[in-house]
Amino acid sequence: MLAKQQRAQQGARQVSAVGQGLRRAGVSRRRCAGATRTGDSVRAMRAIFLDIDGVLNSSRTPNPRKFPYVVDPGLLQRLLSLQQRTDAQVILSSTWRYDPVGLLAAKHFGIPFNDVIPDMPGEPRKKEITSWLAAHSLERYVVIDDEDDDLDDLPLFQPSPGDGLSDELANGVADYLEGKTDKDMRRNRIVRAVQNVQAMLNGHSG
Ligand SMILES: [Mg+2]
Q: What is the mean pLDDT of the chain?
A: 82
Centre of ligand 1 to C-alpha 66, Å, is 16
Q: How far apart are CA 20 and CA 38, in angstroms?
A: 31
* Domain 35-201 listed as CATH 1.10.10.10: no
How much distance in Å is there from the Cα of 197 to the middle of ligand 1? 13
- 177: CA distance to ligand 1 center in Å? 21
Pick the more confident residue, 186 or 173. 173
SS (H, E, C) 97-165: HHCHHHHHHHHHHCCCCCEECCCCCCCCHHHHHHHHHHCCCEEEEEEECCCCCCCCCCCEECCCCCCCC
Q: Is the pLDDT of residue 12 over 90?
A: no
160: CA distance to ligand 1 center in Å?
10
Angle at the Cα of 19 from the Cα atoms of 47 and 38, rounded to 5 degrees:
35
Q: How far is CA 94 from the centre of its chain?
A: 5
Distance from residue 54's CA to the centre of ligand 1 (Å): 5
pLDDT exceeds cutoff 70 at 78: yes
Region 159-186 average pLDDT: 96
Read off the pLDDT of residues 84-117 as tens digits, 9 standing for 90 and up: 999 999 999 999 999 999 999 999 999 999 999 9
| Cα 6 to ligand 1 centroid, rounded to whole Å | 32
CB-based burial of residue 97 (10 Å sphere; 0-12 exposed, 13-18 middle, 19+ buried)? buried
What is the CA(13)–ligand 1 centre distance, in A? 26
Confidence class for position 31, pLDDT limits 50, 70, 90 = very low
> Among 108, 104, 110, 62, which Cα is nearest to 90's?
110
- CA–CA separation, 122 and 124 (whole Å): 7
